[in-house]
């Protein structure tokens, strides 16, 4: 709404009156605002607003990127929880492109959703969405502050990685390497930060390899690069998918896990407990996150102010480390 106001040369309050058909506005001003809204593809779904007031049972879920890794787990739990509430989930993805994001926003607003739950790995994507909708929003995001009409639900990632790395150090590991995820994402930066803090507190030189993404092949490639400098005592990896790829690279190099190199992942994907050896990982409670996101959306629809909700994590010590559970 702010962008529309700036382009039209009017106040945000005037834009609100035009788009909501409330209050007195001159025809000339109305035309300027409507033209600016069209140029910016800003839409306000009045049917959705009316349905929200009558307790719409449709929740919008917008994902910027592919439905993979932890977000796939979030989607599954969110879908199940929505069904348990006798509600419906309207879902759209966008492949990190503005045109696709605009189409996704239009689709969800046209689906009469009462509000949006937005998975936002990058802050710029979230800002783009917020500038183009007046619906209540819950951001599943890291490093973002809540607003009047937006709550933020996140995990305590940095402290979790700090604690897990600290336990590796206390168990005798000295050369510990971090294989990061995509550093464009705040999640990767927070996880790296926890690792670095633990190393520095113990007087150990941090060492990390920047990953190109979050997939198996990214972990595999980062581990191959790491091994050019020799095998470490342990690796702390950006997520479970990367950890699986990294363990493949370790096996190919003739190294045993955890005898030669200990491995910690992040997410606690279902597959992680069935690997051989089973993967030690920092577990995110995806079901709890989904429930909190829906609860926050209910609060916002009821007119309450957005807030920050942090869901705790825990380390599950399995067979890829030599730490007693």
281, β-bridge pairs: 265, 316
pLDDT of 38:
76
pLDDT of 91:
93
* C-alpha to C-alpha distances, 317 to 40, 129, 174, 322, 325, nearest whole angstrom: 50, 39, 19, 8, 5
56 and 197 co-located in one domain: no
* C-alpha to C-alpha distances, 59 to 81, 147, 260, nearest whole angstrom: 11, 20, 48
- 228 pLDDT higher than 50: yes
Task: Please name the residues in contact with 292: beta carbons below 8 A apart, sequence gap of 6 or more.
Answer: 153, 309, 311
215 and 270 co-located in one domain: yes
Domain that holds residue 2: 1-42
263 and 192 co-located in one domain: yes
What would the pLDDT profile of 169-187 be if each residue is shown by its tens digit? Answer: 999 999 999 999 999 899 9
Residue 211 sits in a domain whose CATH number is 3.40.50.2300
How many whole angstroms separate alpha carbon 98 and alpha carbon 85? 32
Average pLDDT, the chain: 90
What would the pLDDT profile of 112-160 be if each residue is shown by its tens digit? Answer: 899 999 998 888 888 989 998 999 999 999 999 999 999 999 999 999 9
How many whole angstroms separate alpha carbon 267 and alpha carbon 246? 15
pTM of the model: 0.80
Q: What Rg, from alpha-carbon coordinates, does the chain have?
A: 23
């Amino acid at each position: 709404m702010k962008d529309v106001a700036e382009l039209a040369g009017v106040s945000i309050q005037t834009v609100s009156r035009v788009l909501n058909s409330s209050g007195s506005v001159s025809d000339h001003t109305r035309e300027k605002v409507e033209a600016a809204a069209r140029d910016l593809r800003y839409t306000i779904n009045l049917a959705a607003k009316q349905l929200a007031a009558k307790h719409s049972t449709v929740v919008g879920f917008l994902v910027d990127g592919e439905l993979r890794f932890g977000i796939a787990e979030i989607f599954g739990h969110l879908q199940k929880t929505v069904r348990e509430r006798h509600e419906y989930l309207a879902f759209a993805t966008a492949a990190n492109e503005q045109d696709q994001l605009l189409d996704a926003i239009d689709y969800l607003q046209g689906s009469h959703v009462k509000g949006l739950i937005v998975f936002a790995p990058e802050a710029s994507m979230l800002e783009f969405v917020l500038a183009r909708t007046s619906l209540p929003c819950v951001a599943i995001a890291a490093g973002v502050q809540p607003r009047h009409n937006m709550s933020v639900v996140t995990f305590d990632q940095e402290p979790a990685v700090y604690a897990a790395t600290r336990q590796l150090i206390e168990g005798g590991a000295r050369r510990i390497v971090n294989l990061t995820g995509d550093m464009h994402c705040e999640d990767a930066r927070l996880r790296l930060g926890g690792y670095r803090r633990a190393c520095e507190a113990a007087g150990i030189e941090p060492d990390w390899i920047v990953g190109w993404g979050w997939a198996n092949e990214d972990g595999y490639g980062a581990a191959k690069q790491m091994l050019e400098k020799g095998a470490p005592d342990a690796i702390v990896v950006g997520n479970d998918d990367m950890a699986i790829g990294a363990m493949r690279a370790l096996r190919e190099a003739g190294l045993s896990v955890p005898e030669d190199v200990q491995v910690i992942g992040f997410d606690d994907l279902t597959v992680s407990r069935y690997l051989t050896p089973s993967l030690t990982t920092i577990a995110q409670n995806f079901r709890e996150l989904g429930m909190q996101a829906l609860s926050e959306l209910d609060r916002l629809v009821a007119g309450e102010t957005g807030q920050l909700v942090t869901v705790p994590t825990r380390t599950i010590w399995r067979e890829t480390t030599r730490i007693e559970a």
